[in-house]
Amino acid sequence: MAETMQALDLSQNKYSDVTMEEKDRLFAEVKSDDRWEHVLYGCYECGICVAACPSARFYDFSPRVIAQAVAREDTDLVYTLMADSIWDCSQCFSCDRCPRQNSPGQIITIMREVAVKNGLTSAKEALQGYGRIIYKIMLTGTQVSPDMLQPDAFPDWGTHVHEIAENLDDWRKALPPETLHTTETSWTIDDKTIIELYLIWHMTGVMDLISGVDEGLYDIIVDVMEERLEEAGYDDVTFD
Amino acid sequence: MLHLPVLKADERKHSMDTEKGEKVDLSDAIFQLEKEGEWIVQRVPEPYIELDTKYGRKKKIPVEHTWHHKSCGQCGHIPGYSASIFWLNREFGLDYHDPTDQTSCTAWNYYASATSNPEAQAAVAIRNFAAAYEVGYFPIIHCGTSFGHYKEVRHALVHQPELRRKVKAIMEKLGKPFVIPEEIVHYSEWVMAMKDRIAERQQLDMSMITATVHPACHYHKLIEDDAIYDSEIYGAQRSAIITGTLQALGINVADYSTWFDCCGFGFRHILVSRDFSRSFSVQRKIGVMIEEANPDVTVTHDTGCVTTLDQSQFAGKAHGKKVGLPVMSDSQMAALAMGAHPYKVLQLHWHNTDNKAFLEKLGIDHEQKWAEFQSEVKKIKDGKMEYMSWEDAK
């Protein structure tokens, strides 16, 4: 049932076209993160993280290789891992069992952020098909919604998704909590709340990040939210 | 797959590791920052119940005056999960607030796509905390990932003055207070704290039920010291969450060898790479539970875990794997024990795996109950009723 993955290329030849300066720059960005000193202390090479890791069972993926690569400051290998490996991580943090107090999962979180921020091809590929989720979370404040339960989106979940989709409006109304009668969001959310969330995305640079990853998505989000801001009377809002 | 013999947990002789507690406890630092004018600490309202955490710190769990930080995945796709939490509060006559001034924590997206950053994530968390503070209720977190993520945010805010400064500036621009709750509380801790009162009100005998438990990774692996442990359960070597609640209801909790493994959710995987989620869930969790423990139900306490363990079984069946195990939350199990309607309150029709045999074992006439629910839906379809109310759900 698991997909067959290509073996991780540890020969360091795969990305020889990328300059060492560029690889150094990206690794330096990873190491400059404020969390860095709390996520890497060394590596005993014991493999406990691998034993606990779900992704290691199904992909050519190893939290130990990642911890070792960054601990040894093997810039070439770190780049290869950023390009080919980090998106396999499940982000469950089972690897936090590390007796050295490393958090390979958090190391990967930082590496992913740097990959996204710098528009690495791997990040763009990993986020293909993910745009609707980002759209949902940034514009509605909830990541998933009842109306996402459609048979074409979840064919592997069987016929019960058809039943839910067919009865969605009525079944939502047949929920006792008053806030759950919604279909486009998971619960009723105030306009003011969405606007505050949108201001947070701007003030923290997340909108710039989206612009770098998916310009089309960025334009849609801005269009929708500017209209919403105007309707709510936020004519002179600044995002600094 | 290699199957190791499972040692009965209650035969093990271990005790709580209390030596590490002082090193990891953030309480003093949180209150010190308040003294220095950095933020407001929202106190746990009385009455509260104290539970032990991993290294022995007593955690205060508020009984009422709670602000329910809902889960997007629960409310969106398994809404009986949240409805059961509210139903329990209402049955006990407790004061609670179900807010509309709440966003999700956005951490599912963060762990899946990295299209955010620590500053944004902390600001989202503090905005929600401020919304709770402004209406005078204490946050209680429904989602395991929100819970774990907010603990990570709190840890970062305590240790990173620059992050605090940035978030404080954002809150000032939004006109909201910079508030941190005294405790980050997960709803299942509230269920655990209330377990004896729930058992006192139990209407359904559950002693014939065997259950397996899956604790959410982001509940007990992120900031592990803040999860609930109990010397009487697993010798305090594993979190007592869910297990303690089910045992109070008289349920036999059976052990299995992949208890620590994740469910296979994977954040991005469940949305865009589900082959991994299905495989891990069916082969490492559901299949192992059935083979080693043959339970009637598996019980968990998080959005992603219920979703993955439940929805993945359809594909597992097509592949001839050992599946067919109903998946429920501890809130649904507690509500069911106290007599909640399986469809009007637990909303089991949103679940995928067939749970009729489980209901029959409990003596519940699921055909009758389904007809009762359908009767309410018909009133909505016919325009005779706009919504089903709590009164209608009795």
Residue B1's pLDDT is 61
B228-277 pLDDT, tens digit each: 999 999 999 999 999 999 999 999 999 999 999 999 999 999 988 899 99
CA distance B106 to chain A (A): 7
Residue B253's pLDDT is 98
CB contacts < 8 A (A, B): 259
A77-101 pLDDT, tens digit each: 999 999 999 999 999 999 999 999 9
Return d(Cα A157, Cα B307) in angstroms, integer.
10
Q: Which two tokens stand for residue B133?
A: 């503070």
Q: Taking residues B52-65, what's their average pLDDT?
A: 96
For residue B306, list chain A residues with Cβ-Cβ distance below 8 A.
none
For residue B267, list chain A residues with Cβ-Cβ distance below 8 A.
90-91
Return d(Cα B56, Cα B279) in angstroms, integer.
37
CB-closest option in A1, A176, A206 to B83 = A176
Instruction: Indicate yes or no: CB of A187 within 8 angstroms of CB of B217.
Output: no
Q: Which two tokens stand for residue B366?
A: 């699921």
Q: What is the DSSP letter of B285?
A: I
For residue B353, pLDDT over 50 is answered with yes
Return d(Cα B197, Cα B200) in angstroms, integer.
5
Composition of chain B by helix, strand, coil, percent to 5: 50, 10, 40
For residue A2, pLDDT over 50 is answered with no
For residue B386, list chain A residues with Cβ-Cβ distance below 8 A.
173
* β-pair partners for B179: B40
Q: Does the CA dihedral A179-A184-A185-A186 come out positive or negative?
A: positive
Angle CA(B199)–CA(B219)–CA(B150) in degrees, nearest 5?
115
| pLDDT class of A199 with cuts at 50, 70, 90 | very high
Q: Taking residues B327-333, what's their average pLDDT?
A: 98
* CATH code for the domain in which residue A116 is found: 1.10.1060
B221-240 pLDDT, tens digit each: 999 999 999 999 999 999 99
Examine residue A35 and state whether it is found in any structural domain, yes or no. yes
Q: Which two tokens stand for residue B46?
A: 């009385």
Residue B237's pLDDT is 93
Is residue A66 within 8 A of residue A103, CB to CB? The reply is no
**Which of A237, A179, A39, A213 is closest to B113 using CA atoms?**
A213
ipTM (interface pTM): 0.94
For residue B178, list chain A residues with Cβ-Cβ distance below 8 A.
none
B389 at interface of A, judged by CB pairs closer than 8 A: yes
Q: Taking residues B302-306, what's their average pLDDT?
A: 95
CA atoms within 13 A on the CB side of A105: 27
Chain A, window 138-167: residues with a beta carbon less than 8 angstroms from a chain B beta carbon = 141-146, 148-149, 154, 156-158, 160, 163-164, 167
Assign residue B45 a region: left if phi > 0, alpha if psi is -120 to 50, beta otherwise?
Answer: beta
For residue B329, pLDDT over 80 is answered with yes
Return d(Cα B380, Cα B387) in angstroms, integer.
7
From the CB of residue A156, how many other CB atoms can be counted at a distance below 10 Å?
14
Is residue A69 within 8 A of residue A77, CB to CB? The reply is yes
Examine residue A203 and state whether it is found in any structural domain, yes or no. no
- Total domains in chain A come to 1
Instruction: Indicate yes or no: CB of B103 within 8 angstroms of CB of A170.
Output: no
B2 at interface of A, judged by CB pairs closer than 8 A: no
Spatial CB neighbours of B380, under 8 Å, sequence gap ≥ 6: A170, A173, A174, B386, B387, B388
For residue B84, how far is the Cα from the chain centroid? Answer: 12
Q: At what angle do helices A20-31 and A75-84 cross, to 10 degrees?
A: 80
Q: Which two tokens stand for residue A127?
A: 């986020």
Spatial CB neighbours of B82, under 8 Å, sequence gap ≥ 6: A177, A180, B68, B70, B71, B74, B75, B142, B331
* β-pair partners for B138: B66
Q: What is the DSSP letter of B5?
A: P
A109-125 pLDDT, tens digit each: 999 999 999 999 989 88
Query: Which of A207-211, A232-236, B15-19 comes out lowest in average pLDDT?
Result: A232-236
Examine residue A102 and state whether it is found in any structural domain, yes or no. yes
Examine residue A183 and state whether it is found in any structural domain, yes or no. no
Q: Which two tokens stand for residue B126?
A: 């503090």
Q: Which residue has the tokens 């439940």?
A: B310
For residue B6, pLDDT over 70 is answered with no
Nearest CA in chain B to A211: B115
Whole-prediction pTM value?
0.95
Domain with A103 in it = 20-126
User: Residue B16: exposed, middle, or buried by beta-carbon count in 10 A (0-12, 13-18, 19+)?
Assistant: middle
Chain A, window 165-204: residues with a beta carbon less than 8 angstroms from a chain B beta carbon = 167, 170-181, 186-190, 192-194, 196-197, 199-201, 203-204
Tell me the average pLDDT of chain B.
Answer: 95
For residue A5, pLDDT over 70 is answered with no
Contacts 24+ apart (CB under 8 A), B168-174: B168/B38, B168/B39, B170/A200, B170/A203, B170/A204, B170/B119, B170/B123, B170/B126, B171/B123, B171/B126, B171/B127, B171/B130, B173/A199, B173/A203, B174/A196, B174/A199, B174/A200, B174/B127
Q: Where are the alpha helices (DSSP H) in chain A?
A: 20-31, 36-39, 48-52, 54-58, 63-71, 75-84, 104-117, 121-126, 131-140, 160-173, 191-203, 206-213, 215-231
For residue B176, list chain A residues with Cβ-Cβ distance below 8 A.
196
* β-pair partners for B51: B59
Return d(Cα B115, Cα A107) in angstroms, integer.
16
Chain B, window 279-308: residues with a beta carbon less than 8 angstroms from a chain A beta carbon = 279-280, 282-284
Examine residue A45 and state whether it is found in any structural domain, yes or no. yes
Chain B, window 214-233: residues with a beta carbon less than 8 angstroms from a chain A beta carbon = 217-218, 221-222, 224
Assign residue A4 a region: left if phi > 0, alpha if psi is -120 to 50, beta otherwise?
Answer: beta
For residue B174, list chain A residues with Cβ-Cβ distance below 8 A.
196, 199-200
Examine residue A113 and state whether it is found in any structural domain, yes or no. yes
Nearest CA in chain A to B175: A196
Return d(Cα B32, Cα B38) in angstroms, integer.
9
User: Where do the domains of chain B lie, and which CATH numbers do they carry?
Assistant: 21-187 (1.20.1050.140), 203-373 (3.40.50.11810)
Return d(Cα A95, Cα A72) in angstroms, integer.
19
For residue B224, list chain A residues with Cβ-Cβ distance below 8 A.
96
Is residue B63 within 8 A of residue B191, CB to CB? The reply is no
Examine residue A158 and state whether it is found in any structural domain, yes or no. no
Examine residue A218 and state whether it is found in any structural domain, yes or no. no
For residue A4, pLDDT over 80 is answered with no
* β-pair partners for B97: B67
